[in-house]
Structure 1
Amino acid sequence: MTQETVKLEPLGANKDPNRTENGLGDEYDPHLHREIESPTTNSETLIHLLKGCLGTGILAMPEAFKLSGMVNGIVSTLLIGLLCTYCLHVLVKAQYLMCKRLKVALLTYPDSMKVACEMGPPFLRGFAPFAPGLTNFFLIFYQMGICCVYVVFVGKNLKYVGDVYTSQKLSLIVYMLIVFVPFVLIICIKNLKLLAPFSILANIITLITFGVVCYYIFQNLDNFSDRPAVGNLADYPLYFGTTLFSLQAVGVVIALENNMATPKSFREPFGVLNIGMGIVTVIYVGMGMMGYWRYGEIIESSITMNFPIKEVLAQVIIISYSIAIYISYGLQGFVPVQIMWSNYIAKRVEDVNEKKKAFYEYLLRIVCVILTFVLAMTVPLLGLFISLVGSFCLSALGIAFPAIIEICANWPNNSHPRTLLFWKDMLLIVVGVIGLSAGSYSAIYAIVQKLASGDY
């Protein structure tokens, strides 16, 4: 969608009071023009939002609190939760404004960046053709990063249990290779409806796992004051990246809002977004605080590896949650495959027959699995990998890009250097850039140090 194909109308421009859009009023409302085959209710959207936000990141939050300190972790996680929620509001609202001006029902995230650059300040317009590619790069890197995290998580947890039953302890790489074929098989499922029953199973396992985690962490608590209130300042970027990875769900939120039966209620004060992100933030604060309170400095990158491994309950729950994460790999891997296939590969194989086209798509899926496994085997550092993905991808996708889109969507009438909105968004861009650069540097530096020392 470009300015060459759609005439842009400035925000605030006078409208003809007698003009109507399909008889639905004197202004175009994108929400009324959406054609959704199976729209979701508010409650269904809320459930999907919670599912999208509660993943492996929640089990890494206690280690994040070790990096930040107890009090600092509680306050900072609440603030980051507010920041993530606000930036999601900014993005959804800006997309709505652009859809109104373009008179289209929906815009994808990459298209939103392109359109924003086209209608924004003049110096950004030359960047418009490259904006979708940059956005897709971050989206692919983010989703592939999640897949790598899942591979490391499953491998480490299987090794944690397997070491109990093997006299000769196998390496982590061996456990990863054992599950390689199952991971290939699940990502080769192209119809997500076939994964739906397994996703329900994964949700049930996740809820049970959280219950067992609570069972273990509420036992034998030390004095709360024994935990330092503030951690080392140099470790804060790592904490920031881990927390951002855990709380930010920009891709999920866009998809959910686009598929709602009543999208106007998504951004209401007591709408789906605020309620969902409020619940998620409280859960993450609680898990981080209680996990760090219980295990202190010996907390692992996933709290499941602090469980008494010789207990059958701990073994069962670790294996079960690994299965849930394995199922989620199929869903997370679907996104980068879809982006790469739809935007870059399908158009190059249009002339081949269907059998060859299917072969190329399956080949792409297998290559994606190989890449995630190679990277996971090269850098099997769960906590640091989570921090790197969070800092590098979500500082851009979840903070800086929404602010850029809002500036452009409101340009020039409501956003220019003499407005508060402009400088507020500039502050968000600065926060995103600092988070990306400082968090990525800290994570990469720590990864190099760990790999050099062999401490992993």
Structure 2
Amino acid sequence: MVCFRADLANNGSREDLDPYVPADHRPQGSNTSSFGALAHLLKASLGSGILAMPLAFRNAGILVGSVGTVVVGLVCAHALHILVKTSQELCVEARRPCVGYADTCDLVFQYGPKSIRKFAPIAREVADWALAVTHLGACCVYIVVVAESFKQVSDSYGGPDWPVTVYCALTLMPLVPLTQITKLKYLVPFSAFANVVWLVSIGISVYYCLTDVPSLNERDLATSLSGIPLFVSTCLFAMEGVGVVMPVENEMERPQQFLGCPGVLNIAMSAVVVLYGFIGFFGYLKYGDEVRGSLTLNLPQDQV
């Protein structure tokens, strides 16, 4: 016992010698279950971007699109695995309960070779700006899709003949005040309403996609190489949910269940790939070269 106490005095406290478990030091609010984390990931990934998958298949072809969707899903899942695994190892190394995107980039450089440690602040800024620009671009795409849908409805029912830009401005009017809400609990009603609308729109789209399906021989199995970049970019835009991966993992009660097999991330990405491939396949099979940026824009306008 005397030797052990002397060893603690020479080498640090008992806390420094014990292995650090980040989950044990997270705040009490970090109690999201594995099922809850899975639900959050699916909600973030299964957005309206799924309606753009038929357009992605049109750019690649029905065979290349099917294989490419799986490949893109594997690449996304692998990249997210690397990100989360690195952050978990850095939590142990830096003795922190959790770290975000910017903190992960900062700590990677701080604990890296001495020659790159001075670039840690730059890495933090690059990570923040990259996420900001990514989300800004995604929001711009969603605004355009919503505005085009409103314009289509307005034109069908004799509304004013305004350009899409005017509908974009009108769409922003209710959305900008919503961005000022910083507490997630206040956004629950809006999120619940959005989920209901999303499920209804997906159900209607799938119904029409599976009605009077043409033969596979009427669709291209593959297109030119110039369409591959368009397919990959559209698929990545629709599929990736990197913006919520770290926050969800940081709030988990058992973060060790986020990775691994099956793991929360693997289950979520598998479901995303299957659903996105299904919508892309049958959406392109149904509408072919006439498919538009959002599948809802291809729905018949002469039915009520």
**TM-score normalised to structure 2 length:** 0.91
Structure 1 segment 27-426 matched on structure 2, within 5 A: 27-166=19-158, 169-312=161-304
Q: C-alpha separation between the residues in 2 aligned to 1:18 and 1:226? A: 73
Tell me how far apart the structure 2 counterparts of residues 277 and 73 of structure 1 sit (CA, whole Å): 17
Task: Give the deviation of 1:20 after TM superposition.
Answer: 4.6
Give the AA of the match of 2:68. S
Name the CA distance, whole Å, in 2 between partners of 1:19 and 1:125. Answer: 28
TM-aligned CA deviation for residue 174 of structure 1 = 2.1
Matching residue of 1:430: none
Q: Is the 8 A contact 2:69 2:273 kept in 1?
A: yes
Q: How many angstroms does 1:249 deviate by? A: 1.3
Q: CA deviation at 1:149?
A: 1.4
Supply the distance in 2 between the matched residues of 1:222 and 1:17 (Cα, whole angstroms).
74
* Deviation digits for residues 9-35 of structure 1 (CA, Å, limit 9, x no counterpart): xxxxxxx9997539xx83112122111
Q: What is the CA–CA distance in structure 2 between the aligned matches of 1:48 and 1:118, rounded to whole Å?
A: 31
* Cα 1:68–1:122 shift into 2, 3 Å: farther
Q: Could you tell me whether the CA contact under 8 Å between 1:113 and 1:128 is conserved in 2?
A: yes
Q: In the alignment, is the contact (CA less than 8 A) between 2:102 and 2:125 conserved in 1?
A: yes
Give a deviation string over 1:314-358, Cα, whole Å, max 9, x none: xxxxxxxxxxxxxxxxxxxxxxxxxxxxxxxxxxxxxxxxxxxxx
AA of the residue aligned to 1:40: T
Q: Which amino acid aligns with 2:113?
A: P
| Residue aligned with 1:173, SS | helix
Amino acid at match of 1:244: L
2:4 is matched with which residue? none
Tell me the CA shift for residue 36 of structure 1.
3.7
Letter in 1 for 2:176: V
Partners of 2:13 and 2:260 lie apart in 1 by 28
Would you say the 8 A contact 1:159–1:172 is kept in 2?
yes
Query: Could you give the per-residue CA deviations for residues 293-332 of structure 1, whole angstroms, max 9, x where no partner exists?
Result: 10000000101000012322xxxxxxxxxxxxxxxxxxxx
Q: Secondary structure at the match of 1:267?
A: coil
TM-score with structure 1 setting the length: 0.62
Q: 1:237 to 1:165 in 2, by over 3 A?
A: same
Identity of aligned residues (%): 37
2:48–2:198 CA contact under 8 A, matched in 1: no
What's 1:21 paired with?
15
- How many Å apart are 1:83 and its aligned residue? 1.2
CA distance in 2 between partners of 1:171 and 1:49 (Å):
36
CA distance in 2, matches of 1:37, 1:66: 45
Structure 2 unaligned blocks of 5 or more: 1-9
How far does residue 201 in structure 1 lie from its aligned partner after superposition? 1.6
Greater RCO structure (CA 8 Å; 6+ sep): 2
Contact persistence 1:163–1:170 (CA under 8 A): no
Alignment CA distance shift 1:122-1:17 (3 Å): closer
Q: CA deviation at 1:125?
A: 2.1
Deviations 1:200-220 (A, max 9, x none): 121122122211111110011
